[in-house]
Amino acid sequence: MAKKQLFTLEYPLRCSPAILYEFLSTPAGLQEWFADKVDEWDNTFSFSWNGAAEKADMIDHEQDKFVRYRWLNSPKEEYFEFRIEKTEITNQTILVIKDFAEKDEIKDQTRLWEYQVKDLFHRLGN
């Protein structure tokens, strides 16, 4: 199997870091845009889409800054991360998504993230 590559996506939005963090780090927030159903037990999140479930551990986080997850069936060095940044000049909030995919799948993964983020923006009123 080919080694997956890290790729990064950035999305500017109008939202406070505290509100955005709730959508990225809690089952209720994630269920609003990321998956059909989300449950959490001891930092292990269960995400369900159309009846299929995947589990991920929250492996690191900092309130209002970032949250990092790793799928249970992924290698230790692979993760997906939501990072919240603020631009210095305009003070705009930027959602930075980091994820891993095989080189020939990055375009498809990017489209999937864009679809998901569009739903998030809708929920946030952006």
The answer to whether the CB of 98 falls within 8 A of the CB of 8 is yes
Task: Supply the pLDDT for residue 126.
Answer: 85
| % of the chain with per-residue pLDDT over 90 | 90
12: pLDDT strictly greater than 90: yes
Residues 84-95 pLDDT 10s: 999 888 889 999
Phi, psi of 70 (to 5 degrees): -135, 125
Please give the mean pLDDT across all residues of the chain.
95
Burial label for 25, CB within 10 Å (0-12, 13-18, 19+), is: buried
Task: Supply the pLDDT for residue 32.
Answer: 95
The number of beta carbons lying within 10 Å of the beta carbon of residue 20 is 20
Q: How confident is the model at residue 77 (pLDDT cuts 50, 70, 90)?
A: very high
Q: Considering only the C-alpha atoms of the chain, give the largest distance between any 2 of them, rounded to a whole number of Å.
A: 44
> What superfamily in CATH does domain 5-124 come from?
START domain (3.30.530.20)
Predicted TM-score (pTM) of this structure: 0.93
How many Å apart are CA 23 and CA 124, to the nearest integer? 9
How many Å apart are CA 48 and CA 30, to the nearest integer? 11
